[in-house]
């Protein structure tokens, strides 16, 4: 699970360099299992299939640590006698690691079987790597608020430039290509302009540029590989992958239903009844994922937020950040302490909710 972005350095002076002991109760987010389960049951009746939720807060991103929890809930669903031949996957995420999307697609396809069907439900954003996950579905149902996005590559490399806060900035492949193209156009008018790479190397390390180019090739490969799970036309898969990687002027360009259909995806409008239920479910998840920081003093606080939720009928998994943060004046950076972050499982047993830490 990636670390959260700490707040800016405090400006108030403080003599003590060691973390102070907590002096106030820790804020804790609500776990609303009793509210989410009825909504999932109603969705399953409306859609005639098994609903699987994958929800990430704005502070979380898709990564490989999500694969085992997804597998866990699918095992539980099958063990409870639920059919996985027709799965409706509710996706809400700003993105993350594309390779994780491939592994999650592979996991879903394993449990649905060769003749199973996966339908992606997109009532909100499913951007970047989450778009890749949606590509693994046989069909994509997009609501009026929902959208996919471009999947062009931007990375933070160990040798990336740093910003004013001494944090490494992301490098976009599309931006590099555009700089070189614009430089080439300017050179056609003035033959005295030098090669653009010499100027770029003064600001971006050559190894970082090479890593961005490699990551771009990986993004195209991931899209075609994921589409290959259900699309038998390699040329169509390649065209969709190329469009998502190179046809949009911004990484966050919203690909709504009409645009998704235009580039060749099997997309259709989300059923109004299902959309309303998904919006309600998303609001409950957002309430669970509300900010839950406890400030002790300008240099010490505790973070206790739910960042991710994976749920099926009968069981809910959520990832909860549970750690202290301390600002080290000498090093001018925030460090985490007493980290008890973990996946936690909620299920109904004998009419009562039982929660436990899940070791995955």
Per-residue model confidence as pLDDT tens digits over 232-255: 999 999 999 999 988 888 878 999
* Same structural domain, 267 and 347: yes
Nearest-5° Cα angle at 238, 235 to 242: 140
* Same structural domain, 145 and 170: no
Q: Is 267 helix (H, G, I), strand (E, B) or coil?
A: strand
* Same structural domain, 133 and 112: yes
Has residue 7 been placed in a domain?
no
The total number of structural domains in the chain stands at 2
- Whole-number pLDDT of residue 206: 73
Q: Which of 148, 150, 158 is nearest to 122 (CA)?
A: 148
pLDDT over 90, % of the chain: 64
For residue 347, the 8-state DSSP code is: E
- Whole-number pLDDT of residue 11: 53
Has residue 10 been placed in a domain?
no
Contact 343, 307 (CB under 8 A): no
Query: How many angstroms separate the CA atoms of 337 and 300, rounded?
Result: 10
Has residue 73 been placed in a domain?
yes
- Whole-number pLDDT of residue 269: 98
**Residues 266-299: pLDDT tens digits?**
999 999 999 999 999 999 999 999 998 888 999 9
For residue 153, the 8-state DSSP code is: -
Q: Is the pLDDT of residue 329 over 60?
A: yes
* Same structural domain, 281 and 352: yes
- Whole-number pLDDT of residue 322: 93
Residue 71 belongs to what domain range?
A: 33-150+248-295+305-319+342-358
How many whole angstroms from its chain centre is CA 221? 19
Q: Is the pLDDT of residue 18 over 70?
A: no
Backbone angles phi, psi at 237, to 5 degrees: -60, -45
* Same structural domain, 55 and 182: no
- Whole-number pLDDT of residue 155: 59
**Domain end (from 210, 238, 257):** 210
Confidence band of 196 (pLDDT split at 50, 70, 90): confident
* Same structural domain, 204 and 285: no
**Residues 36-63: pLDDT tens digits?**
999 999 999 999 999 999 999 999 999 9
Quote the tokens at residue 15.
């003599």
* Same structural domain, 134 and 201: no
* Same structural domain, 89 and 116: yes
Has residue 5 been placed in a domain?
no
**Residues 295-321: pLDDT tens digits?**
899 999 899 999 999 999 999 999 999
Q: Is the pLDDT of residue 84 over 50?
A: yes
Has residue 217 been placed in a domain?
no
- Whole-number pLDDT of residue 16: 46
User: 110: Cβ–Cβ under 8 A, 6 or more apart, which residues?
Assistant: none
For residue 163, the 8-state DSSP code is: -
pLDDT over 70, % of the chain: 79
Has residue 334 been placed in a domain?
no
Task: Specify the residue for token string 């709504």.
Answer: 256
* Same structural domain, 173 and 106: no
User: Can you give the pTM of this predicted structure?
Assistant: 0.84
What CATH number has the domain bearing residue 101?
A: 3.90.226
Q: Is the pLDDT of residue 15 over 50?
A: no
- Whole-number pLDDT of residue 270: 98
Average pLDDT on 153-157 reads 62
Average pLDDT over the chain, rounded to an integer = 87
* Same structural domain, 62 and 129: yes
Q: Is the pLDDT of residue 116 over 70?
A: yes
Q: Is the pLDDT of residue 9 over 80?
A: no
Q: Is the pLDDT of residue 79 over 80?
A: yes
- Whole-number pLDDT of residue 186: 66
Backbone angles phi, psi at 73, to 5 degrees: -70, -35
* Same structural domain, 92 and 193: no
Has residue 91 been placed in a domain?
yes
Q: Is the pLDDT of residue 171 over 50?
A: yes
Has residue 241 been placed in a domain?
no
Query: How many angstroms separate the CA atoms of 102 and 98, rounded?
Result: 7
Q: Is the pLDDT of residue 350 over 90?
A: no
- Whole-number pLDDT of residue 219: 86
**Number of helical H runs and strand E runs in the chain:** 10, 17
* Same structural domain, 121 and 44: yes
């Amino acid at each position: 699970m990636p670390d959260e972005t700490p707040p800016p350095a405090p400006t108030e002076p403080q003599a003590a360099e060691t973390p102070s002991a907590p002096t106030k109760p820790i804020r804790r987010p609500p776990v609303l299992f009793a509210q989410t389960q009825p909504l999932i049951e109603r969705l399953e009746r409306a859609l005639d299939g098994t609903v699987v939720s994958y929800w990430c807060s704005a502070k979380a991103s898709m990564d490989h640590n999500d694969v085992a929890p997804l597998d866990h809930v699918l095992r539980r669903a099958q063990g409870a006698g639920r059919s996985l031949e027709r799965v409706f996957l509710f996706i809400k995420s700003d993105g993350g690691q594309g390779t994780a999307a491939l592994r999650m697609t592979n996991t879903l396809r394993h449990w649905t079987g060769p003749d199973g069907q996966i339908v992606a439900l997109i009532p909100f954003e499913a951007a970047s790597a989450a778009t890749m996950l949606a590509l693994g579905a046989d069909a994509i149902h997009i609501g009026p608020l929902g959208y996919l996005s471009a999947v062009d590559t931007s990375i933070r490399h160990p040798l990336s430039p740093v910003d004013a806060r001494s944090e490494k900035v992301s490098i976009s492949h599309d931006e590099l290509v555009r700089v070189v193209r614009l430089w080439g156009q300017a050179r056609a008018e003035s033959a005295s302009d030098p090669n653009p790479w010499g100027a770029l190397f003064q600001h971006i390390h050559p190894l970082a540029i090479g890593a961005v180019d490699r990551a771009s090739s990986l993004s195209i490969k991931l899209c075609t590989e994921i589409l290959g799970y259900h699309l038998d036309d390699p040329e169509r898969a390649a065209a969709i992958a190329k469009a998502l990687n190179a046809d949009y002027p911004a990484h966050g360009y919203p690909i709504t239903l009409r645009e998704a259909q235009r580039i060749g995806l099997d997309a259709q409008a989300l059923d109004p009844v299902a959309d309303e239920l998904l919006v309600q479910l998303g609001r409950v998840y957002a309430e669970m994922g509300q900010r839950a920081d406890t400030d002790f003093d300008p240099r010490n606080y505790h973070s206790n937020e739910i960042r991710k939720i994976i749920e099926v009928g009968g069981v809910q998994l959520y990832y909860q950040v549970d750690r202290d943060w301390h600002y080290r004046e000498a090093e001018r950076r925030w460090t985490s302490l007493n980290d008890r972050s973990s996946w936690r499982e909620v299920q109904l047993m004998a009419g009562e909710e039982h929660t436990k830490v899940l070791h995955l």
